[in-house]
Homo-oligomer: A and B are copies of this chain.
């Protein structure tokens, strides 16, 4: 939230769009519903967001930006790679638990973005993954674990991101505890 009137309107549109896309899907959401939900005429809506596809794109980019911002403290800390790996995982799951509904929307609806916007999303996702790759490379260089590649990274992030499908607020484990469990699984496997 901000005192800037324009930005605040935009935030309200992004929040309303996320909720409507979650409930009715991208294709099941009309501009009129969005207009009703934010209490804004179509003209004002258009001024702030352009069209519906642009709205889905901005929801997606904001989410990736937030995930990247959440990773920044871990990425830039001077801790050893194993500590940083734990911090990255905790930051991701705390972020996911906070923005779970937006993640459901982006994971489910991003296939309807224009090719150009999808490419921008993939570039932003790659930037996020690069943070993990750097920490995992640093850990391998420090002798903490073996070398990793893209298959590993996608598997590791898949394990963590899949929590969007089952993690519940107030569940038996906190996001941080789930993150710690998975970091242990990533580093040590099921080995005794």
Q: Which residues of A does B touch, CB under 8 Å?
A: 22, 24-29, 104, 107-109, 111-112, 136, 139, 143, 145-146, 148, 151-152, 154-163, 165-166, 173, 178, 181-182, 185-192
What are the residues of chain B within 8 A of A145 when measuring CB–CB? Answer: 189-192
Give the most central of A152, A181, A189: most B CB within 10 Å: A189
| Other-chain residue from B109, B143, B162 in contact with A158 (beta carbon distance below 8 A) | B162
Task: List, in ascending order, chain B residues with CB within 8 A of A28's CB.
Answer: 25-28
Q: How far is the CB of A153 from chain B (nearest CB, A)?
A: 10
B152–A157 CB distance below 8 A = no
Main secondary structure of the interface of A (DSSP, over half): helix
Q: How far is the CB of A92 from chain B (nearest CB, A)?
A: 13
What number of copies of this chain does the assembly contain? 2
Do residues A151 and B181 form an inter-chain contact, with CB atoms below 8 A? yes
List of B residues within 8 angstroms of A151 by Cβ = 173, 178, 181-182
Which B residue's beta carbon lies closest to that of A151? B181
Chain B residues contacting A159 (CB-CB under 8 Å) are 155-156, 158-159, 162
Q: Top 8 closest A-B pairs, CB basis?
A: A158-B162, A27-B28, A189-B189, A145-B190, A108-B108, A25-B27, A159-B159, A188-B189
Measured CA separation A70–B104 after assembly (Å)? 28
A139 surroundings in chain B (CB, below 8 A) = 190
A142 CB to nearest B CB, Å: 12
In the bound complex, what is the Cα–Cα distance between A25 and B27 (angstroms)? 6
A111 proximity list for chain B (CB < 8 A): 22, 104, 108
Residue of A27, A29, A139, A163 most packed against chain B (CB within 10 A): A27
Measured in the bound complex, the distance between the Cα atoms of B159 and A114 in whole Å is 28
